Amino acid sequence: MDFELTEDQRAFAETARDFARAELAPHAARWDAEGIFPREAIAKAGALGFCGLYAPENAGGLGLPRLDATMVFEEMAAVDPSTTAFITIHNMATWMLGTWATEAVRGHWGPLLASGEKLASYCLTEPGAGSDAASLKTRAEPVGDEYVINGAKAFISGAGATDVLVLMARTGDAASGAGGITAFAVPADAPGISYGKKEEKMGWNSQPTRTIGFDNVRIPADHRLGAEGEGFKIAMKGLDGGRINIATCSVGAAQGALAQAQQYMHDRKQFGKPIASFQALQFKLADMATELVAARQMVRLAAAKLDAGARDASTYCAMAKRFATDAGFNVCNEALQLHGGYGYIREYPLERLMRDARVHQILEGTNEIMRVIIARRMLEGDAPDAIR
């Protein structure tokens, strides 16, 4: 087992670190405070290939392993988890479209999305269907060579600023459950689509979150992704990678916070000496570093499983998401504590990193739902060798 990064992985990480320092770090606090969606910076990320990192090459993506993509996302999230998390969602939606769209739709949207020229949202959650996503009610009715879509989506990242919606809608009857859901690529400006107000959030302020309404929205039948009834599986496959990405954003945020705390402990003096000399704080720092490394390794293991197509990959993605987003939030919170009162004020990035990391425990499946997924695997079927 080789835990060393390859030369390529190191090069990706370095490029991402340089990009993050130059294009994200100087502005992240202002984007957060003023709720600015940094479209230009995202386009620059796209020019480096960061908007289609693991999208297939025939859709204009780099076709990289998920493991390599984590190297890029982690570096960016260390300074701006909010903008990075949007870029990860865009990557997920781009991969879904690139993998399941018809040739014509992939040929049109793939290169535009992978280059960051156009952006995508992932639309699964509804006002009445969150954790129980398979109960979604938005309908896509086949009419001639079109589908007519009616319904509503909630909490959609990037909504109002994106160009294409990867939408999960019901094509089966009301009782059809997960097997009655189909995925679609919907142009975000199609007639009949309306956007709600920009939600006011605790964090993730550099990206808009909105509800989306669909009122007799007509799309050509060839905008379907995969077959009818495959949409829930496609949505979950997207989320396997999405969960690694969000977990990585937590690892990155924690790394950023830890580095700040480490430096601050040398700089800040109380009782006539640097606070780094207090063993209680040294122990705290040691625990933070240990938790962070455990989280990073867990995420990389899950990414490697997904890349290898392992049967238990989804379980590991759920474990990594649960563990790394909890650990990441805790490390950010402890780093804030190590800054005392200064950690609480906006001049320092700690409170922003902590606010941004908080939602990672909630979205792309809450951490309770991650436990449901893990426990289900352990208690059903070929469980005994499920987790080793």
Is 364 in the active site? yes
* Among 354, 296, 322, 352, CA closest to 70: 296
Q: Does 204 bind ligand FAD (CB under 6 A)?
A: yes
Cα separation of the two ends of the chain: 15
* 53 contacts ligand FAD (rule: CB under 6 A): no
**Residue with Cβ nearer ligand FAD (52 or 365):** 365
Q: State yes or no: residue 205 binds ligand FAD (CB under 6 A).
A: no
- Say which residue the tokens 């018809």 belong to: 102
Of 201, 218, 284, 376, the one binding ligand FAD (CB under 6 A) is 201
Instruction: Give whichever of 289 and 362 is closer to ligand FAD, judged by the CB atom.
Output: 362
- Measured N-to-C along each axis, helices 39-47 and 81-100 cross at an angle, to the nearest 10 degrees, of 60
Is residue 359 at the binding interface for ligand FAD, with CB under 6 A as the rule?
yes
Size of the site for ligand FAD (CB under 6 A): 23
Figure out which of the listed residues 70, 99, 125, 325 binds ligand FAD, where binding follows CB under 6 A: 125
Among 75, 117, 364, 368, the one annotated catalytic: 364
Contacts with 10 (C-beta within 8 Å, 6 or more apart), sequence order: 71
Label each residue of 84-127 as H, E or C.
HHHHHHHHHHHHHHHHHCCHHHHHHHHHHHHCCCCCEEEECCEC
Shortest reach from residue 8's CB to ligand FAD, in Å: 30
Q: Is 152 in the site for ligand FAD (CB under 6 A)?
A: no
By CB under 6 A, residue 130 contacts ligand FAD? yes
372 binds ligand FAD (CB under 6 A): yes
DSSP 127-162: TTBSSSGGG---EEEEETTEEEEEEEEEEEETTTT-
- In the chain, alpha helices (H): 7-19, 28-34, 39-47, 66-77, 81-100, 103-114, 231-267, 279-308, 313-338, 350-358, 367-379
Applying CB under 6 A, which part among 109-117, 169-177, 344-352, 361-369 lies near ligand FAD? 361-369
Q: Tell which one of 142, 174, 368, 387 touches ligand FAD (CB under 6 A).
A: 368
Q: Which residue ranges make up the site for ligand FAD (CB under 6 A)? A: 89, 121-125, 130-131, 155-157, 201, 204, 209, 359, 362-366, 368-369, 372
Residues known to be catalytic: 364
